[in-house]
Amino acid sequence: MASRCRAYRFLLQPTTKQKARLDHLLAGQRELYNAALEERRGAWRWEGRTITKYEQFGTLAGLRDVRPDVLACGTTVCRGTLTRLDESFRAFYRRSRSGEKPGYPRFKGAGRWDSVQWPYQAGWKFDEDGRRVRIHGIGSIAVRRNRPLRGVAKTITIRREGRRWFLTVFCVDVPAQPLPATGRQVGVDLGVNHLATTSDGHHFPNYRVRARAENHLTAAQRALSRKKRGGANRHRAAQRLGAIHRRIARQRLDHAHKLSRALIDENDVIVHERLRVSNLTRRPPPRPNGSGGFQPNGASAKAGLNRSILDAGWGLFLRLLTYKAEDAGRTVIAVPPRHTSQVCRRCGHSESGNRHGAVFRCLRCSHIDDADINAARNILRAGLAQREQSHEAEGAHASGSFSSAGP
């Protein structure tokens, strides 16, 4: 069985002096990141040479005599910063090879660097009760533990969010916690009016947390735009705007956690559409009119739909559903979304005219149903058929392997 990995996030409660040390640590590691990036850029520009992260690891020993403040918390956190830069370059090369927009790594300003990581089991340690974490150069920091750690803690990340600090612990070899079988199977159709609709007829609401906070966001963004750059008033306005965004994210995450947990607890098999949210929220391409201008391409309406999709948090919900199913021993099946909302679940007739907004009315057999429930039942049927085909293929492969083994 493959090793199961999980990340646990806890609130840190540092003292005033520890907060100052953490702020100083962030500033030093940001400076190290920018210096390492400049070294790589210069080596390629002037020498045509690529510098690896291991070469940069070797320069940390000499840095102690020049900038001891950067190494005040040890070399492990510095290696985490250099590894982070190396991962940025790896992602840049991967996107370049695949034809995506590359996005060359850029220098980090003070507002774009809010976390540091320890990639090894060095420089940090939990106390026996797990209520405090000792960080080299920072001290023993209180941790608000709302759940126990499972598995073996391998790496940690400390992140600043507004005025609060969070600790993320990455664990490996996490044991599973299987739930008792329920004998139930369900298909899930994701939408904008309802976040999820199940094949057994339940609608789960979409709270539209960003749309509900739109007035507050608009007021905070306008207040920020009026402030002079570099001033204390602008900093406070940015903090207020960031607090609103963080509250929206927490509300969306809370709803996704509760919905995914409910589905996992009540069903053995959950089938959903294989959605690529990045493709669904892509801008429509421009339409040149041949005379130097452009024709209307529906970009304004598409922008509104994109905001609604991102506000619903489909990708977040599916990620939570997948990892919780793995822990609980449930089965999650993703099926292609093509025509799931146009096929009649009763007679199988597929036509775009079958759907009339929230109502499904089959043009062949006159079957009437809720459009989302009809789609969820089609999704469930497709998922069960896909699983059956997979089992048949595995059985054929196993029997073929047994026959080829000989007597």
pLDDT at residue 301, as a whole number = 86
Query: Residues 191, 53: one domain?
Result: no
Decide if 224 is inside a domain: no
Query: Residues 25, 153: one domain?
Result: yes
What's the domain range around 278? Answer: 185-205+254-399
Decide if 216 is inside a domain: no
Residue written as tokens 């956690």? 257
Greatest C-alpha distance within the chain: 84
pLDDT at residue 401, as a whole number = 58
Q: Quick check: 335 and 383 in contact, CB under 8 A?
A: yes
Residue-wise pLDDT for 233-282, tens only, equals 999 999 999 999 999 999 999 999 999 999 999 999 999 999 999 888 98
Query: Residues 190, 166: one domain?
Result: no
- pLDDT profile of the chain (407 residues), mean per 10: 81 96 97 96 93 94 89 94 96 93 93 94 90 95 90 95 95 92 95 94 94 95 94 94 95 96 96 92 87 86 91 95 94 93 90 89 91 94 91 73 50
> Helices in 43-103 by DSSP H: which ranges?
53-58, 60-66, 75-98
Query: Residues 281, 150: one domain?
Result: no
pLDDT at residue 357, as a whole number = 86
Domain count, the chain: 2
Decide if 189 is inside a domain: yes
Decide if 214 is inside a domain: no
pLDDT at residue 199, as a whole number = 94
pLDDT at residue 3, as a whole number = 67
Query: Residues 130, 195: one domain?
Result: no
pLDDT at residue 403, as a whole number = 54
Decide if 295 is inside a domain: yes
> Helices in 133-292 by DSSP H: which ranges?
209-212, 214-225, 232-266, 277-280
Decide if 121 is inside a domain: yes
Q: Quick check: 318 and 259 in contact, CB under 8 A?
A: no
pLDDT at residue 407, as a whole number = 42
pLDDT at residue 1, as a whole number = 46
Query: Residues 197, 345: one domain?
Result: yes
Query: Residues 161, 268: one domain?
Result: no
Report the distance separating Cα 198 and Cα 271, nearest Å. Answer: 10
Provide the total of helices (H) and of strands (E) in the chain, helices listed first. 11, 17
Query: Residues 344, 273: one domain?
Result: yes
Q: Which two tokens stand for residue 143?
A: 């941790």
pLDDT at residue 194, as a whole number = 94
Query: Residues 196, 337: one domain?
Result: yes
